[in-house]
Amino acid sequence: MTESKAAPRGGLEGVYAADSAIGKIDGELGELRYCGYLLKDLADHTDFVETTWLLWNGELPSQADLDSFRPAMRQERGLSKEILALIGQLAPALTPMDCMRTVVSALCFDDSPSAGDDRATNLHRGVRIQAKIPTIVAAYARLREGKDPLEPRQDLSHAANFLYMLTGQVPTDEEARILDVCLVLHAEHGFNASTFAARVTAATLSDMYSAVTSAIGTLKGPLHGGANTAVMEMLLEIDGVDEVEAHLDGLLARNEKVMGFGHRVYKVVDPRALVLKDFSQKLAAVKGEPKWFEMSEKLETLMKMRKGIDMNVDFYSASTYYYMGISPDLFTCIFAISRVSGWVAHILEQFSNNRLIRPRANWIGHDRRDYVPLDQRG
Ligand code: ACO
């Protein structure tokens, strides 16, 4: 590990932990690139599966690449009866992220343990995990409501199929496209906490399932992916646009973090948040329910005025998903449905040039103490 010029404040701030050629963030410019391509261009011109190919292979796919990759991803959407039974057992008791973490870990159950650890096998594992995560989330959501899970549909895109499996309705083209772009936007973000957790696990030469499971557990926290659910909980707590200011002032007076704001790397507004803001505004008009967008916009303005802190990716994703009729406690799962593509890319990159990741602690404890027998302790 090498240290940058900035003095570290803990939390590995400013520390470069390994080489990478996947996602590059320019925190000063507010720019994000995947393998050199500007995220905005990818969001405008590709879909999530094409972006995934880019992240896993470092190059945009040819038509022939896509003609084999798309069906490979679709064919892996289904879950075995054992995995569905496990979700059925867990759904009444576990939160969505706890269930996802446990079930992704269990996906090794119907993988072949003797298949080895070469890149092709790990790519196939990546396809399996990425294809099945939306089916896991949708099955969980339906089972906890006492409904039967729906079989994935081969004729729908990754995003449209997820919304179909969740709601039983094929989404409009506009909703499917909006969710697909959300997946592209969330797919990769350098050495964020969950990706770093995946790489630490992979660097011990553990396996793909274990590394993705580590990442899911790390994404769950409200300082990372869990913030999108927390943002919506905050909006639901506030009693309309007129109450936004008092609510925010209360949070700041109590020194509480305002969810959906702030970022370790961006010094200006997160470019993904701007695209999500447009989606939230568009859906507010389509649904004829401006409240959630207007409350969010007021919070955004006031937070900038009071603290000078910009929104992050989680802020407008909350109202965007809520307008799509998705339950707030599933929002972090949607983040995982997308970010798994980045995790797999980083796990493959770690395996391809591996060194154990093992930092050291800055010691602040007792220097040296002599053992005190039990009967002599005060
Ligand atoms: N609300 C209020 N104050 C904040 C916020 C916030 N959301 N974010 C940062 N600050 C303040 C801190 O209080 C601190 O002030 P101080 O220096 O006076 O003590 C200063 O800004 C620096 O904040 P840190 O927490 O030290 O910054 P750090 O880089 O460690 O944390 C983080 C970044 C975790 C994202 C933080 O901004 C935060 O907690 N945000 C809210 C949770 C959130 O939205 N997380 C999602 C992040 S994006 C993602 O993971 C997908």
Instruction: Summarize pLDDT for 240-288 with one digit per residue, the tens.
Output: 999 999 999 999 999 999 999 999 999 999 999 999 999 999 999 999 9
Which pLDDT belongs to residue 1?
A: 47
Question: Among 189, 247, 263, 346, which one carries the catalytic annotation?
Answer: 263
Q: How large is the angle between the packed helices 331-352 and 313-323, nearest 10 degrees?
A: 130
Ligand 1, atom 21, residue with closest C-alpha: 262
CATH architecture, domain defined by 227-323: Orthogonal Bundle (1.10)
Pick the CATH number of 23-171+187-218+338-352 from 1.10.580.10, 3.40.50.300, 3.30.420.240, 1.10.10.10: 1.10.580.10
Q: Report how far ligand 1's centroid is from the alpha carbon of 6 (Å).
A: 18
Q: Is 304 in the pocket of ligand 1 (CB under 6 A)?
A: no
Helix (H) or strand (E) holding 140: helix 119-143
The residue whose CA has the least distance to atom 19 of ligand 1 is: 255
Residues 6+ apart with CB under 8 A from 201: 210, 211, 213, 214, 215
Whether ligand 1 lies within 6 angstroms of the CB of 299 is answered as: no
Query: What are the CA-CA distances from residue 145 to residues 50, 103, 327, 334 (Å)?
Result: 33, 18, 12, 19
What is the reported pLDDT for 8?
54
Q: How far is the CA of 9 from the centre of ligand 1 (A)?
A: 13
Residues of the chain with CATH 1.10.580.10: 23-171+187-218+338-352
- For the whole prediction, is pTM greater than 0.85? yes
For the chain, give every residue range classified as CATH 1.10.230.10. 227-323
pLDDT of residue 68: 98
Say if ligand 1 is within 6 A of residue 314 CB: yes
pLDDT at 10: 85
Residue 78: per-residue pLDDT:
98
Question: Which residue lies with its CA nearest to atom 13 of ligand 1?
Answer: 257
Compute the distance between CA of residue 330 and CA of residue 229 in angstroms, rounded to an integer.
8
Residue 122 buriedness (CB in 10 A; 0-12 / 13-18 / 19+): buried
Q: What is the distance between the alpha carbons of residues 142 and 135, in angstroms, rounded to a whole number? A: 11
Task: Give yes or no for a contact between 178 and 324, defined as CB atoms under 8 angstroms apart.
Answer: yes
Low-confidence ranges of the chain (pLDDT < 70): 1-8, 113-114
Question: Rounded to whole angstroms, what are the CA distances from 266 to 123, 178, 366, 378?
Answer: 31, 24, 37, 51
**What is the 197 CA–ligand 1 centroid distance (Å)?**
20
